[in-house]
Amino acid sequence: MELRALHSEAKPLKIAALCGSLRKASYHRGLLRSAIELSKSSVTGLDIEVVDIEPLPFLNTDLEVDNTYPATVEAFRKKILEADSILFASPEYNYSVTAPLKNAIDWASRPPNVWADKPAAIISTGGGFGGGRAQFHLRQIGVFLDLHFINKPEFFINAFQPPAKFDSEGNLIDESTKERLKQVLISLKAFTFRLKGKDC
């Protein structure tokens, strides 16, 4: 059987998607919804699941008992461990990542570090630089966690420059931005297979 046929029959890559914004109508949630739609149409072979970080308690090692974590934390860590790669939708707050996202990152980094050797990508939107400084900080954090980020294409979008990128409910409506997001997913897919030692 040809290699391409083998891959077409293989299980899709499991992508754990994390949104750094807790706001229900946030543009970053809209980006992830669009990524899921793209994975069902034009970028096949991906199974993107948004992993909710809102229920996680604030990191407190007093909550670690007999080398176990609270149930919500254990469930979150399991999702990260089982993922083939990670997609971060990261807003920029004060030149950095948001508190909820940093909290999630820290919980999953507790021993054993379940981020280790995961391929990852970052998508951001907002005003000004479109979240680029938060991405730079997240990449710095990833160095210590052994996360391997794709370098290109970069994806940080100014949400407020015309044409309109999102509707009033936070859904991505700009086709050129969707195409850029598609290229991120293609790159993440290829990089994930590359780290696994396989062809995509």
CATH number at residue 38: 3.40.50.360
Question: What's the pLDDT at 2?
Answer: 40
Section 75-87 average pLDDT? 98
Q: What is the pTM of this model?
A: 0.93
Question: Tokens 């254990």 belong to which residue?
Answer: 74
Separation of alpha carbons 13 and 31, rounded Å:
19
The dihedral built from the CA positions of residue 9, 180, 154 and 77, taken in this order, carries a sign that is: negative
Q: Are 86 and 16 in contact (CB under 8 A)?
A: yes
Dihedral of alpha carbons 56, 57, 62, 63, sign: negative
Which residue is listed with tokens 């046929």? 5
* Confidence bin at 5 (pLDDT 50/70/90): very low
Spatial CB neighbours of 107, under 8 Å, sequence gap ≥ 6: 56, 59, 69, 73, 76, 77
For residue 12, cis peptide bond before it (omega within 30 degrees of 0): no
pLDDT of residue 172: 97
CA 115 to chain CA centroid, nearest Å: 12
Domain carrying residue 55: 3-196
**Tally of domains within the chain:** 1
* Residue 7 pLDDT exceeds 60: no
pLDDT greater than 80 at residue 49: yes
Can you tell me the distance from the alpha carbon of 100 to that of 154, in angstroms, rounded to the nearest whole number?
23
